[in-house]
A = this chain, B = another copy of it.
Amino acid sequence: MLVVKKFGGTSVANKERIYNVCRRCAESYKNGDDVVVVLSAMGKLTDELIAKAKDINPNPSKREMDMLLTTGEQTSVALACMAFEALGIPAISLNAFQVAMHTTSAYSNARLKRIDTERIMHELDQRKIVVVTGFQGVNKYGDYTTLGRGGSDTTAVALAAALKADACEIYTDVDGVYTADPRIVKKARKMKEITYDEMLDLATLGAGVLHNRSVELAKKYGVALVVRSSLTNEEGTVVKEDVKVERMLVSGVAADKNCAKISVVGLSDKPGTAFRLFDALSQANINVDMILQSVSHDNTQDIAFTVVGDYADDAIKVIEDNKTRLKYEKVELEKGVAKVSVVGAGMMSNPGVAAKVFECMYNSNINIKMISTSEIRVTVLIDDKEVEKAMNAAHDIFGLED
């Protein structure tokens, strides 16, 4: 069996943890598996490198930043191979040039285009564990690039796809994907299986276990992902296309507290009004999430939408800067709001889920400010003080604890 195993920065933060990672991989190797390990930079090393750079130049070019940051994973893979050697396991480290990992040109936020497999396959054939730098690639100019947030997950999934691996195991500090965040919902239960689409919705909505780019990639290439703990031997959660267990109506509940609601009141009710508003925001690189457009009255309408909390003030500024062009009466900002989402592939064939969500919010006396739905998701915007109550209520009403 060929397995790609990915470990994040906390899993290789010090000597003991590096040995822990290597011992786990050695077990699999001794069972006869071909093992490819993908590592991130150690603990806080990336942050330290960024601080070093900013001290030299507050606005370094992204190219040189990538040149600097890629030393982080290279340090991890070299040290891990030294630990493998000490354990008597043949291992070899490879960076993005050595593999080679071809990406698009964009420094700091590149996308993987193609991975050469010759070198890795050659080393696996020598019965070596191959330890590969996550997060980094090489672009058409022959320069280092990095893959942005969650980049090492993406490296692991892409490698698994290129090598036609039998499994891609993502080791984290949690032991799988839960029906809800166990810190908020006490009865939350670890799922054995979940579909790519459900995982994508949970990832986007703040479950935080896997970055959505890696899930998208896994879906595209049909890579079976396993999310499991780097500390325990528990089985973890499998993310794949078809889930064999009897389809639950709802598989999980997620929350995202980093939200703000913006209402633009008294916009003229003419064609192009919404376009001009959201175009101005997109020009400023502000992503808009839920959108609510009111029925018009007196030739005016109101438009409300949510943005990531950090961008709320920027969004307000953009709207106010465009006041003469947009023509509106006033703009209102509401912070302290949160999205709670119910996700489940089973709801595609069952239209009652949304109603049930509203019912349980009503029963819990929670005011719903906005609603948005997709084929496999129902999201409500509520006061962030009510997130815990709302999540537990939804978890209960859909019987997720069983």
Contact = CB atoms under 8 A, between A and B. Distances in A.
| Count of identical protomers in the assembly | 2
A371 interface: no
A289 interface: no
A115 interface: no
Interface stretch (A70-78, A154-162, A234-242, A248-256): A70-78
Interface stretch (A61-69, A210-218, A336-344): A61-69
Nearest to A133: B67
Interface stretch (A25-33, A48-56, A176-184, A315-323): A48-56
A57 B75 contact: no
A56 B79 CA distance: 7
Contacts of A75: 49, 68, 71
B78 A68 contact: yes
Interface residues of A, number: 36
A83 B56 contact: yes
B56 A18 contact: yes
Contacts of A68: 74-75, 78-79, 82
Contact of A67 (B15, B57, B93): B93
Contacts of A53: 78-79, 82
Contact of A71 (B63, B71, B97): B71
Given A71-B74, A71-B75, A74-B70, A64 B81 contact: yes
Interface string A1-27: 000000000000001001000000000
Interface in A78-125: 78-79, 81-83, 85-86, 92-93, 95, 97-98, 119
Contacts of A59: 85
A82 B97 contact: no
Interface of A: 15, 18, 49, 52-53, 55-57, 59-61, 63-65, 67-68, 70-71, 74-75, 77-79, 81-83, 85-86, 92-93, 95, 97-98, 119, 142-143
